[in-house]
């Protein structure tokens, strides 16, 4: 089951792209590209799995860099401090997760 705050990734031709799960409804999942916050798309859990997306992290990614726009948008407050170190993930919530690269070359 996919939950809000999880991070999914997909290997493209030249890089590993990660997406933050923004919203989960009964049928649709809204994903946001971590590197490009304006890039949003909706899909289903079945399509996400069939297109090769893998779960990278269950810990939320909270971007602490200052916004470059003049308009302040209402941001949902994190449920815990973004600097909290998750010893299982070996990173703080505000640190970008390391991509999990599947071993494609093993026999």
Interval 51-70 mean pLDDT:
78
d(CA 84, CA 81): 5
pLDDT for the residue 83: 72
**What 3-state class would DSSP assign to 49?**
helix
Q: pTM here?
A: 0.69
Give, as one character, the DSSP assignment of residue 35.
Answer: S
In the predicted model, what is the mean pLDDT of the chain? 80
Per the model's pLDDT, the better-predicted residue between 37 and 86 turns out to be: 37
Q: Are 41 and 23 in contact (CB under 8 A)?
A: no
Query: What mean pLDDT do residues 47-63 have?
Result: 86
What gap in Å lies between CA 52 and CA 69, rounded to an integer? 33
Residue 40: pLDDT above 70? yes
What are the tens digits of pLDDT across the range 24-37?
998 899 999 988 88
Instruction: Tell me the pLDDT band of 94, cut-offs 50, 70 and 90.
Output: confident
């Amino acid at each position: 089951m996919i939950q809000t705050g999880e991070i999914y990734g997909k290997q493209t031709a030249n890089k590993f792209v990660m997406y933050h799960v923004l919203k989960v409804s009964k049928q649709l999942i809204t994903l946001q590209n971590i590197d490009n916050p304006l890039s949003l798309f909706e899909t289903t859990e079945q399509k996400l799995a069939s297109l090769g997306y893998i779960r990278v992290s269950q810990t939320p990614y909270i971007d602490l860099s200052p916004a470059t726009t003049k308009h302040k948008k209402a941001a949902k407050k994190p449920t815990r401090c973004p600097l909290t170190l998750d010893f299982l993930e070996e990173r703080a919530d505000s640190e970008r997760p390391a991509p999990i690269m599947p071993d494609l070359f093993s026999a």
